[in-house]
Structure 1
Amino acid sequence: MANDIARYFAAEPEREDAIAGIATHLKRFWEPRMRAAIIAHCNDAAGTGLDDLARAAVERLARG
């Protein structure tokens, strides 16, 4: 699902805007346990399977 969101935001001309948009979407619309699970996946499995933009957004989300 995070990769689908990243594909949507990939149309943003600025990479940072895309990352911010993805992180904002995850924060607003994903329930806390979903966010915790994807953050754990990035920490434990280096985000295997995540698009580069999605991984960057999850890393930003994890930083707060």
Structure 2
Amino acid sequence: MRIERLVTMANDIATYFAVEPDHATAVNGVRDHLRRFWEPGMRRQLKEHSLAHDGEGLLPLAREAVDALEMPRNDAA
């Protein structure tokens, strides 16, 4: 999937959680949504983008959530 689309989708999720008064809860909400509903390849692509391009295009809340994602080791690679 195009990274621009993934960034837009992550930002939409972050916008939804931005009204949460507790910042940590908001970050966890975005992170948990990505973990539950996104395919591993989508999460990996977004995480790699965040690391390689300093989260370019991501809202701060989305960036924090993506940075908090733990990616499982891929022993096949």
Shorter-chain TM-score range? over 0.9
Structure 1 partner of 2:18 = 10
Off by >6 Å, runs of 4+ in structure 1: none
Any idea what SS the aligned residue of 2:61 has? helix
Partner of 2:54: 46
RMSD, aligned CA: 1.3
The Cα offsets for residues 12-47 of structure 1, whole Å up to 9 and x where unpaired, read as 001100000000000000000000000000110011
CA distance in 2, matches of 1:63, 1:55: 15
Task: Give the share of equivalent positions with the same residue, in percent.
Answer: 50
Aligned residue pairs total 64
Larger Rg: 2
Q: Where in structure 1 are there 5+ consecutive unaligned residues? A: none
Q: Identify unmatched segments of 5+ residues in structure 2.
A: 1-8, 73-77
